[in-house]
Amino acid sequence: MKKILIGTHNKGKFREIAYLLSKKYKKISPISLKIPSPKETSKSFSGNSKLKVNFFSKFVKYPVISDDSGLCIKSLNNMPGIYSSRLAKKHGSFTKAMIYILKKMKIKKNRSATFVCSLSYKHPKKKIVNVTGIIKGTISSKIIGKKGFGYDPIFIPRNYNKTFGQFSKVRKMKMDHRFLAFKKLKKKIKTL
Ligand code: ITT
């Protein structure tokens, strides 16, 4: 069976990318191979996404797919953005980071936000293929929903009246920023 390394230590992301990939692949996690995470030194999603796929490719001889993603809130100058994961670490949990965000949003009129996913694929000895998926929405007034992961309970996708935390896992995986990025990637790499 063909192997692919899903280069992420985030279990929520791993589940979503594994779901999107063809059944033909045996999906390998860097956790099972005891591969650490690289330092995210870039100032952009695409920079960090490429940096991750390059890093993980050094450990295996088969294709690697990596994602750098995050929540960008318009009235907070697109924060936490590339610092989405680091904000949760700084506050001790996603719940605490979401409480912090909701507090900051109390005085804001504009609640527009986007979830961004920069997805990179690397086949050994070939160049990186990088694409971006974006889903628009708004920030809810409360933390609602127990499904999904990360910031899902405060993001309401456009044209819906519930948060990603209230969507079934499968429904969310078929519409989110990662899905939209994957759709673009699949057009370029048909075997995925
Ligand atoms: P890896 O670098 O190992 O992939 P990470 O969690 O550090 O794991 P990022 O640096 O890309 O990943 O950080 C993205 C953050 O944004 C992360 O904390 C996620 O929980 C959050 N995030 C990304 N996509 C999300 C989604 O679909 N739903 C909820 N939160 C999401």
Going from the N-terminus, what domains does the chain have, and what CATH number goes with each? 2-188 (3.90.950.10)
Q: What's the whole-number average pLDDT of the chain? A: 98
In the reported structure, the alpha carbon of residue 46 is separated from the centroid of ligand 1 by a whole-number distance in angstroms of 14
* Count of CB atoms situated within 10 Å of the CB of 74: 16
Q: Residue 139 forms beta bridges with which residues?
A: 155
pTM over 0.85: yes
In sequence order, which residues have a C-beta less than 8 Å from that of residue 16 and are 6 or more positions away?
173, 176, 178, 179
- Which residue owns the Cα nearest ligand 1 atom 28? 152
Q: Across residues 155-165, what is the average pLDDT?
A: 98
Output the pLDDT for position 144.
98
Q: Roughly how many angstroms between the first and final C-alpha of the chain, as a whole number?
A: 14
| Per-residue pLDDT, 120 | 98
Q: How confident is the model at residue 30 (pLDDT cuts 50, 70, 90)?
A: very high
Q: Which of 6, 10, 35 is the pocket-test mutation for ligand 1 (most atoms within 8 Å of CB)? A: 10
Pocket test for ligand 1, best of 16, 72, 73, 85 (most atoms within 8 A of CB): 85
Q: Is 67 a catalytic residue?
A: no
pLDDT in tens, 81-92: 999 999 999 999
pLDDT digits (tens, 9 = 90+) for 106-138: 999 999 999 999 999 999 989 999 999 999 999
Specify the pLDDT at position 18.
Answer: 98
